[in-house]
Amino acid sequence: MSRVGKKEIQIPAGTEVSVGSGEITVKGKGGTLKKALHPAIKIIVEGSTAKVEPANNSRLARALWGTYAAHLRNMIAGVNSPFQKRLSVEGIGYRAELSGKQIKLSVGFSHPVLVTVPECLTVAIEKNIISISGADKDALGQFAASVRAIKKPEPYKGKGIRYEGEVVRQKAGKKVAGAAA
């Protein structure tokens, strides 16, 4: 039994959840989100609550039960108030600039790296802090992870792109390690 899946999902006022033709649609003041619905899961919408149930008693249906409940909660939360992630670019000469729908990153390579921002997300850059926001939590997390993967923070000087608040453990360099031996 899924503890997450058993709980009823409250639908706030001004948000509309509809299920049809193998797709979940959530409309709210922040936009519209759509997600494909697996046939092993059924979603029942009654008034201001939604309930996720497995369509059969298979192992796959039980595995997807809590997952789809979490997806539906995230979609409802996203259309009401957008999710946000912040990345910081750290290092001497490292810069991030926004030009149209592309982020231009100068992060120690011989060329600037251009990253196209997906349509469903908005990006703002201020003092090498990249703020990404959007209603779709999946797309937001995937885009933030792909930007971070361009130049992960390295363990000796800490240069690179990291999530705001992320702690990178620093390693001792050669001089310190050699002197201790």
Cβ(143)–Cβ(117) below 8 Å:
yes
Domain residue ranges of the chain, discontinuous segments joined by +: 3-80, 83-163
Mean pLDDT across the stretch 2-29?
A: 91
pLDDT at 104: 95
Q: Which residues in 19-48 are b (16+ Cβ under 10 Å) and which e?
A: beeeebbbebebeebebebeebbbbebeee
pLDDT at 5: 84
Mean pLDDT across the stretch 140-168?
A: 93
Greater model confidence, 170 or 179 = 170
Local confidence band at 176 (pLDDT 50, 70, 90 cut-offs): low
pLDDT for residue 164 is more than 70: yes
CATH of domain 83-163: 3.90.930.12
Contacts of 105 (CB under 8 A, 6+ apart): 89, 94, 95, 96, 112, 113, 114, 115, 147, 150, 151, 161
pLDDT at 148: 96
Q: Decide if domain 3-80 falls under CATH 3.90.930.12.
A: yes
Residue type, 41: I
pLDDT at 4: 82
pLDDT for residue 180 is more than 70: no
Domains 3-80 and 83-163 equal at CATH topology level:
yes
Report yes or no on whether pTM surpasses 0.85.
Answer: yes
Local confidence band at 179 (pLDDT 50, 70, 90 cut-offs): low
Model pLDDT for residues 49-68, shown as the tens digit of each residue: 999 999 999 999 999 999 99
